[in-house]
Copies of this chain bind each other. A is one copy, B any other.
């Protein structure tokens, strides 16, 4: 196992030499046309010992701590195909972490193994179109006990990467009368289960996508699966979802930092070469300089905040770091959006095209301020925890 610095350098080199040459194809061709080349990159990653950096060595991964993986995640974030190439892409990474920590021996064998080896993909079905995401305990989907089975019915969307997934992990209410945070459970539903259907790949920002690069609307119509497909105890669904979010937000936030670094790098390259008149480059403009400086400062500050949070989680667990985890979510998402906006502005018309990855990120990462808890939700979470220290218990 390489040390963190070496590994990071290796990942950086892998991104620069293997992935960046593929990036343009990913941005401009359909998934089906590119997936072969991506699988080649995956093979190369495996050959270089970079595969599944988040997983234990025993499972074929690199066994990184959260802090060390954070650095790798940033490097991978520099291109939209980075995480996929190393098999640490959402939502599979979260599903792997979940199964690794909470799956039964049988579940791990049947589902985690193939996932870890990159033989299958998976999805996570939580968000419902009829229910506000800001109230995650209020779900319509039901998993009703019938003997040794659950019979699951529900309507989900933003089930990312459902297209082509071998199984879904679905959040469904198992006891509607329990206290709100104890109502739901997480259950594995193979996508071959009768009653399961992928309604559509939702057109998101103009793009329905294909295969991995999709957000599915799915229906569970009396899907029958054995009770042993439940992950953890009954009623633990919400708790498991929360546990998933701590490290998951570190992954995302560091991925965003990678996006930011790339966007700033592209900005500087453009500013350094684009001429306004013969011999006078864009970077001589004070407005461009100030955008570069603002982005530099915000990225550096955000990264330190994220790494400090990763350190807290590594040292004390995700629960102890909940306020910090909420803080980095909205803070880093805000930085991401501003950095991308500045990058496009400096690029001018070019920034609107798919000749750079900026436009891709601009439109798809707009979701960063929405998914996994909107900014507004996280800010209130942080404030209520702070105010608790002043003796005030505030409910939303």
Contact = CB atoms under 8 A, between A and B. Distances in A.
A133 to B, nearest CB: 6
A28 B27 CA distance: 20
Given A304-B308, A383-B288, A363 B206 contact: yes
A281 interface: yes
A298 B327 CA distance: 9
Nearest to A349: B158
Contact of A363 (B203, B276, B331, B362): B362
B206 A354 contact: yes
A287 B380 CA distance: 9
Interface residues of A, number: 88
Nearest to A331: B297
A310 to B, nearest CB: 13
Contacts of A389: 268
A138 interface: yes
A20 interface: no
A25 interface: no
Interface stretch (A32-40, A190-198, A220-228, A368-376): A368-376
A347 to B, nearest CB: 9
Contact of A327 (B300, B375, B384): B300
Nearest to A264: B386
A253 to B, nearest CB: 12
A109 B287 CA distance: 46
Given A269-B390, A305-B301, A362-B363, A292 B206 contact: no
The majority secondary structure among interface residues of chain A is helix
Contact of A379 (B133, B138, B294, B302): B294
A391 interface: yes
A360 B206 contact: yes
B380 A286 contact: yes
Given A285-B286, A349-B158, A363-B363, A271 B370 contact: no
Interface in A122-164: 127, 129, 132-135, 138, 157-158
A348 to B, nearest CB: 5
Interface string A267-285: 0110111111100011111
A349 B300 contact: no
A290 interface: yes
Interface string A320-355: 000000011011000000000000110011111111
A387 B293 CA distance: 10
B158 A390 contact: no
A206 B383 CA distance: 31
A289 interface: yes
Given A296-B386, A300-B308, A349-B367, 17 more contacts: A132-B282, A134-B348, A203-B353, A204-B353, A283-B394, A285-B286, A287-B290, A290-B383, A293-B379, A293-B380, A297-B327, A300-B305, A301-B301, A304-B305, A345-B375, A362-B363, A362-B366
19 contacts: A127-B349, A129-B350, A205-B352, A268-B386, A283-B387, A283-B394, A286-B287, A289-B380, A289-B384, A292-B382, A293-B381, A296-B386, A297-B305, A297-B330, A297-B331, A297-B382, A304-B308, A344-B366, A344-B370
Interface of A: 27-28, 127, 129, 132-135, 138, 157-158, 202-207, 268-269, 271-277, 281-290, 292-294, 296-298, 300-302, 304-305, 308, 327-328, 330-331, 344-345, 348-355, 359-360, 362-363, 366-367, 369-371, 374-376, 378-384, 386-387, 389-392, 394
